[in-house]
Amino acid sequence: MNMFWLLLLIFCYVGTGAGVRVSTRTRPSVVNIGSIFTLNSSIGKVAKVAIEAAVDDVNSNPALLKGTKLKLAIQAEQDTNSSGFLGIVEALQLMENDTVAIVGPQQSVMAHVISHIANELQVPLLSFAATDPTLNSLQFPYFVRTTQSDIFQMSAIAEIVGYYEWRDVIAIYIDDDHGRNGIAALGDKLAEKRCKISYRAPMRPNVGRNEITNTLLKVALMESRVIILHIQANWGLEVVDVARNIGMIESGYVWIATDWLSTVLDTESALPPAARDSIQGGLTLRMHTLDSKLKRKFVSRWSNLTGRLFGLNTYGLYAYDTVWLLAHALDKFLNQGGNISFSNDPRLTRFRGGNMHFDAMSIFDGGNMLLTNILEVNLSGVSGLMKFTSDRNLVGAAYEVINVIGTGFRRIGYWSNSFGLSVEPPEKLNEQVNHSHSNQLFGVVWPGQTIEKPRGWVFSSNGRQLRVGVPVRINFREFVSKVDGSDIFHGYCIDVFNAALAILPYGVPYKFIPFGDGKINPIFTDLLYKITTGDFDAAVGDIAITTNRTKMVDFTQPYIETGLVVVAPIQKRNSSAWAFLRPFTPMMWCVTGLFFLAVGVVFWILECRTNDDFCGPPRKQCVTILWFSFLTLFTAHREKIESSLGRFMLLIWLFVVLILNSSYIASLTSILIVEQLSYSVKGIESLITSNDRIGYQRGSSTENYLVDELNIHKSRLVPLDSEEEFEKALNDGPKKGGVAAIVEKRAHMELFLSSRCEFGIVGQEFTKTGWGFAFPRESPLAIDMSTAILKLSESGELQKIHDKWLARKACSLEEAKQDIDRLPLNSFWGLFLLCGSACVVALLLYLVQMVHQYMRLSGRGSQSCLSFVKEFLSFVKEKENRVHKSEAKRKRKSQKKAKPRDNEGRRYQMEES
């Protein structure tokens, strides 16, 4: 409202006391419309001809307004540098004539100001050239843009930048509403493509050549070489001319001009040679209009309208269609019974009298109704379909992408809000099922007459080397190490960095700068902070990519993946002498033994009546029962099974024995092997729940992870530097001031374990992450290096570098495995003792049996020990059958001797009797 009162004060000097004017005719003979533009601009002079031609065409069409004629009042500025103040005066002058709508204004700055007047007086503004996106806001309900908004033009530029894989651009613009708001929209659209405006170079309106030169010299010192020029046409050619003079229109630069350049090219038939040279290789946009019969007809009569003084640009097409759109809306307005009537604002009646005629300001009573009709128009014009979306933009936003070459230009593609970039016009793509030509552009001739796509950036300072910070490690020097007495570094990380730089399409001068005192490992967070302060331009080393670190710097693609592991001492246990009994519980042993006996009895019952093998004396039958059932555990039984029930029972029993045997072997194997090695901790979970101290590598990100993520108290953490400290802390253990385990990156720990077989990794790897090279935020070099690392990985070169530095013969892995595979005697001495005892008992029983048998057969009493031993050994050597024969012979002899004695005794008894 403050703006409105200010405008009223201005109106007091230019207005007249017109009073209240009311027209009650339903079909007036004349309807007043106005137009505001800058006459000597490329847009204004074309718009004047197009608007006048449209008014004539509408008035000559009796079917449209049915006798009502449009009366056009033009307020044209002669100077493009005129202030907005004069535009306000011109707008107020139009309101004196009962104007129902204004075609214009041309400039966005003026549209912002005049829209306040339009809101109060309810007079629609139909602008064919004010492209500022913020004019669509709810603040300006009576502003209607009848051309494309800059929001679409900036979307097209952002997609072009993303298509050519540039990440940073520089924006040069006039610092007014049109320039600021357009570049703000560009920044938003670039952010959607993960790009950004790295430097903004605003210039004041009415800028001079000296100021342009100073601005461009600052731009030349920036890293980015992609320049977006969003400016008015009268200053745009001046800017590119200065850029050519200071060497900025050459190979390596990219110039993308908004549609002001295409407007100049379309309008001006002959540009000066210097201007042509200044825009060579540049890209610009042109609003795409549908090739229709109406358009071709209008283009063909254009030379007659202008006398071939200047060409037709797209703003002229939209200016022509704006008049037709307004005419259709007025026709509908009148058909609905709308009256062209005006009334005074009752709020201004208190200002009556005096020399300041505030009460002369009149409000268009049908303004809101006419505005609604305007927004509902659906018209096919010379520019295409004139129809508004819900957000009051024209449908079918599309642009042509133009490359300036030689004395002309070439269309290299299209951009549309529906299909993005393409080499086919959007109306053709709309007819296709699969859009095979989308997201494409034809080749471009860039500044410097080169067809090779510019890189889009350079190093900001001339001749300065890239300062690369490298941590000076005191352990794990296979990754990064400094050659004593020199500034040379080598190691796995250094080789990967050098290899990636070598395949970049451009040279990068650099030097390594050591970071750290060489006594303790440096803190990597401090190293990365040096990049944010500008002390380093990059950092190379075994630097893990973490969330907190990505907030400070940008990392490349990881060149190695690794995670945290837990390393603890290996404790070797002595196996129990009776370990072979552990696979089965005591109850299992008892039940198994009883089943062996029971099954033997069952087989005896089933076979004893029909099978001779199960017959015989009771002693033999008992032995057969035990022998048959237990023998099935190891080998085939000797006795044959003849009955069908016995065979069925044997099949079931052999299956049971198979399961028991296999289970016993598997369980015993696992017990004897696994019990040899054990760890004091079971993994990260047991470390968290315990109170033992945990070691980590000083300077790494492990400390933050253990404290912040796992909530381990910092007092439990022990920073360690060298590998010797790792070893000593693990050997001492928590009871002697050491640590229970070390938590660190797998890559580090694999090197540590390669020569230390008494330690091992416990549990699974966790927190998978990677190492990358660090660069400043939004650095384009980080993107190029990421691409180079991917190429190294795909070519196999990255694996070769890994094998060179990190592929070790891990003694810990091989020797520990061999130690595990070799079972010690301690696990089996109980079994051997049992077997040996059985052997001794069996031999003793056999010896007693043999001595008893010898004594019984020999029948000799006292004799020398030597002779006894000799004869006994000879007896032992004799076969069992021979011994049995000798014993039988002896029995027969003794029986023969006994018979005569018996006969003699009988005779003696008989004689006595």
- What digits encode the pLDDT tens for the residues 519-576? 888 889 999 999 999 899 999 999 999 988 999 999 999 999 988 999 988 765 555 6
Helix (H) or strand (E) holding 386: strand 384-386
User: For the CA atoms of 588, 594, 595, 601, what is the dihedral angle to 10 degrees?
Assistant: 170
Is pLDDT above 90 for 389? Answer: yes
> What superfamily does domain 150-291+397-431 belong to in CATH?
Response regulator (3.40.50.2300)
Nearest to residue 388, comparing CAs of 321, 297, 315, 332? 321
pLDDT score recorded for residue 829: 52
Is pLDDT above 90 for 858? Answer: no
Q: Report the DSSP pairing between strands 362-364 and 342-344.
A: antiparallel
Averaged confidence pLDDT in the chain: 82
pLDDT score recorded for residue 354: 52
pLDDT score recorded for residue 817: 43
Is pLDDT above 60 for 185? Answer: yes
pLDDT score recorded for residue 557: 93
pLDDT score recorded for residue 836: 55
Is pLDDT above 80 for 729? Answer: yes
pLDDT score recorded for residue 635: 59
Average the pLDDT over each of 262-266, 289-293, 535-539, 890-894 and give the range with the smallest value: 890-894
Specify the CATH number for 466-562+772-806; select among 3.40.50.300, 3.40.190.10, 3.50.50.60, 3.40.640.10: 3.40.190.10
Q: Tell me which architecture the domain covering 30-147+309-386 has in CATH.
A: 3-Layer(aba) Sandwich (3.40)
What's the pLDDT band for 818 if we cut at 50, 70, 90? very low
Percent of the chain at pLDDT above 70? 76
Average the pLDDT over each of 53-67, 355-369, 492-506, 893-907 and give the range with the smallest value: 893-907
pLDDT for 659-695, tens place per residue? Answer: 777 777 887 777 666 555 556 677 888 888 888 899 9
Helix (H) or strand (E) holding 799: helix 797-806
> Which residues have C-beta within 8 Å of that of residue 300, sequence separation ≥ 6?
none
pLDDT score recorded for residue 598: 74
Average the pLDDT over each of 9-18, 44-53, 180-189 and give the range with the smallest value: 9-18
Is pLDDT above 60 for 214? Answer: yes
Please tell me whether the peptide bond between 105 and the residue prior to it is cis, using omega within 30 degrees of 0.
yes
pLDDT for 768-801, tens place per residue? Answer: 889 999 999 878 889 889 999 999 999 999 999 9
pLDDT score recorded for residue 12: 42
Nearest to residue 675, comparing CAs of 858, 820, 485? 820
Is pLDDT above 90 for 215? Answer: yes
Q: Angle CA(378)–CA(384)–CA(386) in degrees, nearest 5?
A: 30
Nearest to residue 205, comparing CAs of 83, 111, 309? 83
> What superfamily does domain 678-767 belong to in CATH?
Periplasmic binding protein-like II (3.40.190.10)
pLDDT score recorded for residue 14: 40
Strand ranges (E), 112-195: 125-127, 143-145, 168-174
pLDDT score recorded for residue 687: 87
Nearest to residue 342, comparing CAs of 72, 18, 70? 18
pLDDT score recorded for residue 628: 67
Nearest to residue 190, comparing CAs of 238, 240, 230, 218? 230
The residue ranking higher by pLDDT, 311 or 91, is 311
Is pLDDT above 70 for 472? Answer: yes
